[in-house]
Amino acid sequence: MKVIAVAGRSGAGKTTLIRRLIAELRRRGWSAAVVKHCGSGFNLGGKDKDSSLYFRAGAEAVTLTGPKGTANLRLLSRRMKDRDLADAHLLADFVFIEGGRIGPDIPAIEVIGTNPKDRVPLRNRDRWIVVSRLPVDSSKPVFSPTQASEITDLIIAGTAKDQIRAGDTARENHFRAHDPAVRTVLEKSVVGIAGAGGLGSQVAIALARAGIGTLIIADFDRIEASNLNRQQYFAEQIGRPKVEALIENLGRIPSGTRVVARKVRITPDNVARLFGQAEILVEAFDRADQKQMLIETWMTRFPDRPIIAASGLSGYGANNRIRERRIGLLTLIGDEESEPKPGISPMAPRVGVVASMQANRVIEYLMKTRRASC
């Protein structure tokens, strides 16, 4: 997400410019959101509209939905900083903050109206681009309001450079405490994860944080509210495909892990096609019959590649009963007894313990086999 301020006096043309930039960005495949400062206040549709009535009654949030889309409204009692406001739009590629006064350290597009001398207070180091209808002297790039395409070129070019610099710095900081030899091995590895639920989502996050080079993740399911008690998703992601949301969440980890996500039901006929490039496979299914199918298919098609499976992780407590058992290249982790049933459901602590043990076993295997082959 790139945050850009659009600063200027009232009537200078800020809204018109932002609309043109959003349209141009969308035409090129980018998404955008807007945070607008309202100096004289604002209303949520008029005092007699239902949304306003709900807020006056004490509601903290109101969601409006209809045939053309859905809007979430939240009324806060305090004024938030520009950066915090922009963070509410993490899913957008670009967030424009429109106003006369903008917080510091945000690259700003200054929009100048009919009087070139009537300008907003803006630090020169924050001023990035100047947009003016009339000629103006500036050490920054100057465009006319109609040059939305040229301004967009500069925005995208500047963003790419920022992302490269930020990505490289964040990645190096992420791995600062890593053993370089371990990092080198892991970033060359390819690991498959069958299932993106409680086990799969947590295994994926653990391996991405560790620095695995490529994760291949397959799952056909969508996120439900009941998943949130143990799976690595959030309320705003309910209804979305799990693999799609997991890519999004993994993308916030600056390890550089490449994620190949496939929204498909895993069957004996497609296991080899889905995970053929993986050196090792993590079984992360819920049902016993699915687990058996995957283990048998994998061991038949790839008898020389390990599979890390889970068996028995429902309920809570009994840490000493969770164990690892190896049968050739098959590793089983869990208590091998507790299965989901009324009164004994999977819970985050035990699911997390087993998922972490699976991820740890993956790394142990990769370090032993790759170092041995060097």
Residues 369 and 251 in one domain: yes
- How many Å separate Cα 308 from the centre of its chain? 26
Last residue of a domain, one of 168, 203, 229: 168
Q: Are residues 235 and 332 in the same domain?
A: yes
Tokens 């450079």 found at: 161
Query: Cα-flanking dihedrals φ and ψ of residue 179, to 5°?
Result: -70, 120
189 and 241 fall within a common domain = yes
Residue of 313 and 58 predicted with greater confidence: 313
DSSP code string of 252-293: TSTT--EEEEE-S---TTTHHHHHTT-SEEEE--SSHHHHHH
pLDDT cut 90: percent of the chain above it: 45
Give the H or E element holding residue 369.
helix 348-373
Residue 193: its H or E element: strand 190-194
In a domain, 36, yes or no: yes
CATH assignment of the domain containing 347: 3.40.50.720
Q: How far apart are CA 182 and CA 190, in angstroms?
A: 14
Residue 298 lies in a domain: yes
Domain stops at, among 135, 168, 201: 168
Residue 175 counted as domain residue = no
153/236 same-domain check = no
Query: Among 167-171, 320-324, 356-360, whose mean pLDDT is lowest?
Result: 167-171
| Inside any domain, residue 174 | no
**Using 50, 70 and 90 to split pLDDT, how confident is the model at 263?**
very high
Nearest CA to 196 out of 253, 249, 235 is that of 249
Question: Is residue 357 domain-shared with residue 240, that is, in the same domain?
Answer: yes
Q: Indicate the DSSP class of residue 147.
A: -
List the CATH number of the domain containing 44.
Answer: 3.40.50.300
Whether 192 and 111 share a structural domain = no
| Whole-Å CA distances, 329 to 23, 168, 294 | 54, 37, 14
pLDDT at 232: 94
Q: Is the pLDDT of residue 271 over 60?
A: yes
Residue that terminates a domain, selected from 168, 192, 218: 168
- Whether 143 is covered by a domain: the verdict is yes
Same-domain status, 265 and 307: yes
Residue 362 has pLDDT above 90, yes or no: yes
92 and 140 share one domain: yes
Residue 46 lies in a domain: yes
Q: What is the pLDDT of residues 22-63, one digit of tens each?
A: 999 888 888 888 888 776 555 555 666 777 777 777 777 777
Q: At what angle do helices 242-250 and 198-210 cross, to 10 degrees?
A: 20
User: pLDDT tens for residues 58-105?
Assistant: 777 777 777 777 777 776 655 667 666 666 666 678 888 888 677 777
Confidence class for position 199, pLDDT limits 50, 70, 90? very high
Q: What is the rounded average pLDDT of the residues 159-173?
A: 64
Q: Kindly tell me if the per-residue pLDDT of 285 is higher than 90.
A: yes
**161 and 217 share a domain?**
no
Is residue 260 a part of any domain in this protein? yes
**Do 113 and 218 reside in the same domain of the chain?**
no
Q: Would you tell me the crossing angle of helices 148-174 and 14-27 to the nearest 10 degrees?
A: 70
| Cβ pair 212, 187 in contact under 8 A | yes
Which domain covers residue 211, as residue numbers?
180-373
Tally of CB atoms within 10 A around 128 = 17
126-152, pLDDT tens digit by residue?
888 999 988 888 888 999 999 999 999
Whether residue 126 is found in the same domain as residue 194: no
Q: Is 213 inside any structural domain?
A: yes
Domains in the chain, number: 2
Residues 132 and 199 placed together within one structural domain of the fold:
no
12 or 372, which is more confident: 12
Beta bridge partner(s), residue 35:
97
In terms of Cα–Cα distance, which of 333, 332, 326 is closest to 353?
Answer: 333
Which helix (DSSP H) or strand (DSSP E) does residue 86 occupy? Answer: helix 82-87
- Indicate if the pLDDT at residue 180 is higher than 90: no
Q: Which residue has the tokens 């700003």?
A: 108
